[in-house]
Amino acid sequence: MGCRVLRDRESKVPYARELSLRGADALQQRKFGEAEQLFVDALRQSPNDERAQWGYSEVLWQRGEHVLATRHMVQAVELSGSNPELLVRLGQMYLEQKDFTNAQAQADAALKTHRNNPAAWALKADLLRADGKLEEAIDCYQRALLYRPDWPEVQVTVAELYRLSHRPQRALATLDRLTDQRSENQMPPRAYLLRGQALADMGERDAALVYLRNATPKVPADQSNLLYEFAEVQYQLGDLVEARLCLGRALQHNPNLNTALRLQTELDRLLEHPIDSKIPAVLVGHTNPR
């Protein structure tokens, strides 16, 4: 009887793996409902399939059920024998829930298993950044880039940290390397904002205004928060009309973005009464040099 039960269980494992592979494919295509059903079916066939535990965790995370998602990721890590990639993903989940102790534990465990894992170094850097240790964070991000040189998200983060630590030239150099590696349509939109900010930090206000004005149309319309950040920088540099146009795009996609609404009110006031405002009237129109 025991042998027959064992054979039944073993016969279900290949089918569970097949379901998990199909679920992973659906997840990659962002077909979350289909992916969830496939992973649930896989877990019914074999609860010890780490792929199914991982996939179901990712579906739950997308749905906002973070605590339950984390539990399933813990199971995936245990079943995989502490796979470094799964350890990193679990650490990222803990980090997003501000459980820094457990996030650090996963980063350390991943690096102990695989010292050259770029994602583990990036996770460690994320934790240092959250703790305000910018220099140490930069060092860890650079370690991540040593093992994965073409990583736009990390390169943009490094550029941002150089700005925050008052090194705009280093920020621009980092962005230049990113530009050399990728075509224009592959550039992360935040890189455009950072370049404009770095130029302004170096006192090249006119160049910053021109760059931001030309870069704004390249930002996807659905990135309303980023568009608001563009508008805020343009407002601070005195380009009120461009800031107002940029805000219009942000609010068109997200009409309830409170920060954008507040800035819109201020811009409308300044544009209506430029002489009475603290912004010189000459800055109200397009002041970008050609």
What's the pLDDT at 6? Answer: 38
What's the pLDDT at 5? Answer: 37
Ranking 206-210, 261-265, 269-273 by mean pLDDT, the lowest is 269-273
Q: 13-81 and 216-290: same fold? A: yes
Residue owning tokens 């609010």: 251
- Identify the band that residue 12 occupies on the pLDDT scale cut at 50, 70 and 90: low
Tokens of 9: 């269980």
- Identify the band that residue 14 occupies on the pLDDT scale cut at 50, 70 and 90: confident
Tokens of 207: 């160049």
- Identify the band that residue 285 occupies on the pLDDT scale cut at 50, 70 and 90: very low
Per-domain boundaries in the chain:
13-81, 216-290
More confident position, 115 or 14:
115
Three-state secondary-structure class, residue 80: coil
- Domain 13-81 - what CATH class? mainly alpha
**Alpha-carbon distance 139 to 150, whole Å?**
17
Q: CB of 134 within 8 A of CB of 161?
A: yes
- Own/partner contacts of 28-36, CB < 8 Å, gap of 24 or more, are 32/59, 32/62, 32/63, 35/59
Q: Which stretches within the chain are classed as H helix?
A: 2-28, 32-45, 50-62, 66-79, 84-96, 100-113, 118-130, 134-147, 152-164, 168-181, 189-201, 205-215, 224-236, 240-253, 258-272
Indicate the CATH number for domain 216-290.
Answer: 1.25.40
- Identify the band that residue 274 occupies on the pLDDT scale cut at 50, 70 and 90: low
What's the pLDDT at 16? Answer: 86
- Identify the band that residue 186 occupies on the pLDDT scale cut at 50, 70 and 90: confident
- Identify the band that residue 184 occupies on the pLDDT scale cut at 50, 70 and 90: confident
Whether 259 has a pLDDT exceeding 80, the answer reads yes
Most confident of 3-12, 77-86, 178-187: 77-86
pLDDT (average), residues 105-131: 97
Residue owning tokens 């089918």: 15
pLDDT tens string 50-76: 999 999 999 999 999 999 999 999 999
